[in-house]
Copies of this chain bind each other. A is one copy, B any other.
């Protein structure tokens, strides 16, 4: 009880305003230039100095997480509900992966950042894994239990595999969704 039950002491108005402006600006810049856009660009778009960016979001990864938190959450929920709305766990899995792929391919550079070994993105990595790995595990287990999914694939291999397949620039000769479909076919029980 070092801090009792007291709530956070309500921040200053400009601080809240700037955080919100930063999130909006970052979302816009990420769409236009990808998640690796210069911090200065985001600061400029939000009408604040770079110092303000770093006060609100200690690392770039924190900003990325904040911008996409809602959508990651929605993706996790979609996975948790997927099993309830179909009688085939494999189809539930496929549907969920579809949602995940849609999310990744519309965020330029995000898949790359997710897989990056740059320690800068540690937080991003951790957040996605924390939130989505358990969901993947449950879908996988349901599939295995129903005899539809092979039992030697971990959720980590599923998520990182799909993530890896989503990396890279758009290209006519490479259909992400089709390739992910091939990967999923490889996960069917023999």
Interface, chain A (partner B; CB < 8 A): 109, 112, 115-117, 150, 152-154, 156-157, 160-161, 164-169, 171, 173-175, 178-179, 181-187
Contacts and interface: CB of A to CB of B under 8 A. Distances in A.
Contact of A165 (B154, B164, B168, B169): B164
B157 A161 contact: no
Contacts of A169: 117
Given A116-B168, A156-B174, 8 more contacts: A112-B112, A153-B178, A157-B182, A160-B174, A161-B165, A181-B186, A184-B186, A186-B186
Given A182-B187, A187-B186, A168 B173 contact: no
B168 A164 contact: yes
Nearest to A109: B117
Contacts of A182: 150, 153, 157, 161, 183, 186-187
Q: Which of A117, A164, A165, A184 has the most CB of B within 10 A?
A: A164
A164 B166 CA distance: 8
A112 B178 CA distance: 21
Contact of A186 (B154, B174, B175, B185): B185
A167 to B, nearest CB: 5
Q: Which of A152, A153, A161, A178 has the most CB of B within 10 A?
A: A161
A154 B182 CA distance: 11
21 contacts: A109-B117, A112-B112, A115-B168, A152-B178, A153-B178, A153-B179, A153-B182, A156-B171, A157-B174, A157-B179, A160-B179, A161-B165, A161-B182, A161-B183, A165-B165, A167-B167, A182-B183, A182-B186, A182-B187, A186-B186, A186-B187
Q: Which of A152, A168, A178 has the most CB of B within 10 A?
A: A168
Contacts of A183: 161, 182-183, 186
